[in-house]
Amino acid sequence: MTSQLLCRAALTAAFCAGLALLLASPATTQDTKAATPDDQVQAKIEDLAERLGRSLQETHAKKVVVFDLVGPKGMRAPFGSWLADKVSAYLARRYPSLQVVDRSAIRPLLDRRDQEAEQAGRVGRPVDYNTDMRFAREAGANTWVSGSFSKLTSGVGITLTASGAALSRQPVAVTALFPLTEQFAALLPPNLETYVPKNGVYEEGIGGVGIPQCLVCRNPSYTNDARRAKVQGTVVLKVVVTPEGRVKDIAVVQGVQAFPSLTRAAIEAVSKWQLRAATGPDGKPVAVRAAVEVTFKLF
C-alpha cells in the first residue's frame, strides 16, 4: 500500500510539472528573440577570436598587439581597423594573461604600419616578419597578430596570423568566412574585386586561407664542397602545397649562386616534406602557393 501511494505521488508530481511547463511555454516563446544578422556576425567574430586566443595561450605568448587587417596588395580600409578592434577587445577581455596592447593608445603607430603595408603591396611584396617585429616592439609587444581580408564569391574571407618569439617563427593562422552584410559592404573599399584562386591554387595566409604547417620537414644536408669552403646562404623557394600536404611545382626565387649544389640540396629536401595542408575559407584543405626559406649556416 505504501509503495502504491508513493507511485501515485510521483505521478501527480510529474503531471503537475508537465502542466507547469505547458503553461509556461507560450510566455517563453514570446520572450525569445530570433537571432539577427548582426548577432550572427558577432558570434562569428567571437568564434574567430576565441580560436586565436586558445592558440596564443597554448604558446604562452605575452604582450600581444593586433595590427589592422589589410586587403589585397596591402589595401587599407575601415573594415580592417574595425575588425582588429573587435578581435583585440575580445582577447583582452577573455584572455587577460595575454596582456593585449590597447590599440587606441598606439593609433599613430598602426597608421604607419598600414602605410608600409600598402606601399609594399603595390610592388607585390607583403610586410615581412622583421618589419612587423619592429612595429610590435615599438608597441611594447613581442607577439603580434596581422591579418588580411578578401572579397570572395561566398562572402568575406578573413585570415588572422599570430607571429613572434613564442611561436619560433612558425606562425599560427586562423580563418573565417563572413557573410557580406550591408554593414561590411559599407566598411569595405567599393572597388574591392572578388578574389578567384589562379588555377585553383590560393596564396597562403591571405583573406580566408591558412598556412601549411610542417609535420615532417627535414633540413637538407650541407654539401661537402660548400662545407669545406665555409659557404653560408639562404635558398628561397616558391612551392605549391597540395590539399594532401605534399610539395610540388618548386620554383627557385633565390639560390646560393656561388654553390648551386646547396640550392639543389634545398630543392631535394623540400620536395620530400610532409605538411598539414592549409585550410580554405570553408575550413577544408586547399592547394596553396607558399614561400619556403632554407638557411645554410655553419655552427
Report the C-alpha gap between 50 and 292 in whole angstroms. 29
Instruction: Check residue 250 and give its pLDDT.
Output: 96
The residues, ordered by sequence, that sit 6+ positions from 99 with a Cβ below 8 Å of its Cβ are 62, 63, 64
Q: Are residues 273 and 226 in the same domain?
A: yes
Has residue 46 been placed in a domain? yes
Q: Give residue 21's pLDDT.
A: 31
pLDDT tens per residue across all 299 residues of the chain: 333 333 333 323 332 333 233 333 444 444 455 556 677 888 999 999 999 999 999 888 889 999 999 988 888 899 999 999 999 999 999 999 999 999 999 999 999 998 888 887 765 666 778 889 999 999 999 999 999 999 998 899 999 999 997 776 578 889 999 998 888 889 998 888 999 888 999 998 888 999 998 999 998 888 888 888 888 888 999 999 999 999 999 999 998 888 888 999 999 999 999 999 999 888 899 999 998 988 888 76
Of 185, 209, 233, which residue sits at a domain end?
A: 209
pTM: 0.77
Number of domains in the chain: 2
Do residue 182 and residue 228 come from a single domain?
A: no
**45 and 135 share one domain:** yes
Q: Do 119 and 265 lie in a common domain?
A: no
Q: Is residue 110 part of a domain?
A: yes
CATH number of 77's domain: 3.40.50.10610
- What is the rounded CA–CA span in Å between residue 28 and residue 292? 57
Q: What integer pLDDT is reported at residue 151 of this predicted model?
A: 93
